[in-house]
Chains A and B, each alone.
Chain A
């Protein structure tokens, strides 16, 4: 806190400022400035008040030692305010709980026949899903065909999240700042890796190929069996993390660097965006999309769902891996 002049509290400027902020009435000089505030304003500015309260407390502690009568009054006012604050927060909490419970009470009964969830949308998904999307797995048909726009948003959210982590946690190796370079040198224990843990390496030797194949299977069979891009991508990402832990960064960097990450994610998202834009365009204008649906049950069927699944899987796998490396070292 910056140091203030001793007579600042009584200065005209502070009074004017408080009056401008709408916190005090200049006519009621003797009253405690905090007590006259209406409730709504108090809720709005609670944070501001907390800060000011700390300041006032400190101030009053100093003043009380010089034992002025008005200062003691002021300290009492602050104590009243603290009690008021606690009571108000409890009331606010109870109010929110009541409103939420009231909303729950107004919801329709679970499983009722007339619920808004039982509308024609779900019936159409179930009846015509296979015919329209060509996906045996109705869930994937819904996610990547009827609601593909939502899934695109989700993939973008993952990408943005990894970018934010990159911005926050990345250590710039080319930085001219001495302290950052020192920090990198301290945190860089990569050359001690791999630790040649023989048990971990043998386990990884057996497990990683199986995990990878399972992940690829989930992604490629997303339209036929349970699974899809997101779950398959997560499995692939965990396989990559296991490999990294067993064999270290040097072996991993042959396969996966920051450049690879950027290019893969960008290509996948761009392809997704273009593909879905095409199908939205044709769908909105009642045109034939020209993408064959194929025979349901074959691996090359259900139109765009398979490539879209691959895209989502790549984005998710890369993001999982990048999260891990960034949390670990602040770089790839």
Chain B
């Protein structure tokens, strides 16, 4: 269990760093989601399931969706179909 905890913490640090250093915004949001999921597992290990549920629902779910929407609004994400139309 101790080893698992260490691996999780290491993943947390790696995720946190790579969110900051990723150039692509979409990728960084997905890494942020995985950060939230790891955080959720850590909350479970720290014996606070309340926070784990909230973290999973808010951190990994709703916040990321709102980020995606914002990216779509500011046209940082483009659909493949749109690209083809613009190229063609």
Question: A225-247 vs B: 1/0 string, CB under 8 Å?
Answer: 01110110011011001000000
**B70 close to A (CB within 8 Å):** yes
> Which A residues touch B50, using CB under 8 A?
137, 139, 226-228, 231
Please determine whether A227 and B62 come into contact, CB atoms closer than 8 angstroms.
no
**A324 close to B (CB within 8 Å):** yes
Give the shortest distance, in Å, between B69 (CB) and chain A (any CB). 4
> Which B residues touch A320, using CB under 8 A?
62
Nearest A-chain residue to B44, judged by Cβ: A226
**A207-260 interface (Cβ within 8 A of B):** 218, 226-228, 230-231, 234-235, 237-238, 241
Please determine whether A231 and B66 come into contact, CB atoms closer than 8 angstroms.
no
Nearest A-chain residue to B72, judged by Cβ: A328
**A327 close to B (CB within 8 Å):** yes
Give the shortest distance, in Å, between A241 (CB) and chain B (any CB). 6
> Interface size of A by Cβ–Cβ distance < 8 Å?
18
Please determine whether A235 and B57 come into contact, CB atoms closer than 8 angstroms.
yes
Q: Given A139-B50, A227-B53, A228-B50, A234–B58 Cβ distance below 8 Å?
A: yes
Question: B44-88 vs A: 1/0 string, CB under 8 Å?
Answer: 000001101110011001100110011001000000000000000
> Which B residues touch A218, using CB under 8 A?
53
Please determine whether B62 and A241 come into contact, CB atoms closer than 8 angstroms.
yes
> Which B residues touch A235, using CB under 8 A?
53, 57
Nearest A-chain residue to B69, judged by Cβ: A327
Q: Counting chain A CB atoms within 10 Å of each CB, which of B49, B61, B66, B73 scores highest? A: B61
Interfacial residues, chain B to chain A (CB-CB below 8 A)? 49-50, 52-54, 57-58, 61-62, 65-66, 69-70, 73
Show 5 residue pairs from A and B whose CB-CB distance is below 8 angstroms, ordered by the A residue: A226-B49, A230-B54, A234-B57, A234-B58, A324-B62
